[in-house]
Structure 1
Amino acid sequence: MSRPVIFDLFHTLIQGADEERDRVVGEMAVMVGLAPADLVAAYHATWRDRLVRWDVEETIRILAGRLGGTPTDEQVARAGEHRRALARRVLHSVSTATLDVLDALRGEGHPLALISNATSDTAEAWSQSPLAQRFDVAVFSCDVGLAKPDPAIYHLAAERLGVGPGECVFVGDGADGELAGAAAVGMTVLRTREHNDSDPGWGGPVVATLGDLPANLREPFKAMEPSGAHTGTATA
Structure 2
Amino acid sequence: MPRPVIFDLFHTLVPGGDPERDRVVGEMALMVGVEPAALVEAYHATWRDRMTRWDAAETVRVLARRLGGAPTEEQVARAAAHRRALARRLLARVPPSTVAVLDALRADGHPIGLVSNATAETAEAWPSTEVARRFDVAVFSCDVCLAKPDPAIYRLAAERLGVEPADCVFVGDGADGELAGAAAVGMTVVRTTEHNDSDPAWAGRALTALGELPDLLREPARGR
- The TM-score with structure 1 as length reference comes to 0.93
Q: In structure 2, what is the Cα distance between the partners aligned to 1:107 and 1:211? A: 14
SS of structure 2 residue aligned to 1:127: helix
Q: In structure 1, what is the Cα distance between the partners aligned to 2:221 and 2:76? A: 50
Q: In structure 2, what is the Cα distance between the partners aligned to 1:7 and 1:187? A: 12
The aligned amino acid for 1:183 is: A
| Partner residue in 1 for 2:130 | 130
| Partner residue in 2 for 1:66 | 66
| Partner residue in 2 for 1:141 | 141
| Partner residue in 2 for 1:78 | 78
Q: In structure 2, what is the Cα distance between the partners aligned to 1:10 and 1:223? A: 25
Q: In structure 1, what is the Cα distance between the partners aligned to 2:222 and 2:88? A: 40
The one-character-per-residue Cα deviations of 1:99-140 (angstroms, maximum 9, x if unpaired) are 011011001100000000011110110001112111000000
| Partner residue in 1 for 2:27 | 27
Q: In structure 1, what is the Cα distance between the partners aligned to 2:223 and 2:46? A: 42
- The TM-score with structure 2 as length reference comes to 0.98
Shift of 1:173: 0.6
Where do 5+ consecutive residues of structure 2 fail to align? none
| Partner residue in 2 for 1:192 | 192
Aligned residue pairs: how many? 224
SS of structure 2 residue aligned to 1:113: strand
SS of structure 1 residue aligned to 2:128: coil
Could you say which structure has the greater relative contact order, defined with CA pairs below 8 angstroms and 6 or more residues apart?
A: 2
Where do 5+ consecutive residues of structure 1 fail to align? 225-236
Between the two proteins, what is the percent identity of the paired residues?
Answer: 72
| Partner residue in 2 for 1:99 | 99
The one-character-per-residue Cα deviations of 1:200-219 (angstroms, maximum 9, x if unpaired) are 11111111111100000000
Q: CA RMSD in A?
A: 1.2
Q: In structure 1, what is the Cα distance between the partners aligned to 2:208 and 2:34? A: 42
Shift of 1:221: 2.1
Q: In structure 1, what is the Cα distance between the partners aligned to 2:151 and 2:190? A: 17
Q: In structure 2, what is the Cα distance between the partners aligned to 1:63 and 1:143? A: 21
Shift of 1:222: 6.0
| Partner residue in 1 for 2:176 | 176
Shift of 1:44: 1.0
| Partner residue in 1 for 2:40 | 40
Q: In structure 2, what is the Cα distance between the partners aligned to 1:197 and 1:73? A: 39
The aligned amino acid for 2:9 is: L
| Partner residue in 2 for 1:16 | 16
| Partner residue in 2 for 1:117 | 117
The one-character-per-residue Cα deviations of 1:161-220 (angstroms, maximum 9, x if unpaired) are 000000000000111111111011000010111001111111111111111000000001
Q: In structure 2, what is the Cα distance between the partners aligned to 1:222 and 1:180? A: 19
Q: In structure 2, what is the Cα distance between the partners aligned to 1:55 and 1:63? A: 12
SS of structure 2 residue aligned to 1:3: coil
Q: In structure 2, what is the Cα distance between the partners aligned to 1:74 and 1:109? A: 48
The aligned amino acid for 1:35 is: E
Shift of 1:223: 9.4
SS of structure 2 residue aligned to 1:11: coil
The one-character-per-residue Cα deviations of 1:132-166 (angstroms, maximum 9, x if unpaired) are 11100000001100000000000000000000000
The one-character-per-residue Cα deviations of 1:39-96 (angstroms, maximum 9, x if unpaired) are 1111111111111111111100001111111111111111011000000000010011
SS of structure 2 residue aligned to 1:54: coil
SS of structure 2 residue aligned to 1:200: coil
| Partner residue in 2 for 1:4 | 4
Is 64-73 or 215-224 further displaced after alignment? Answer: 215-224
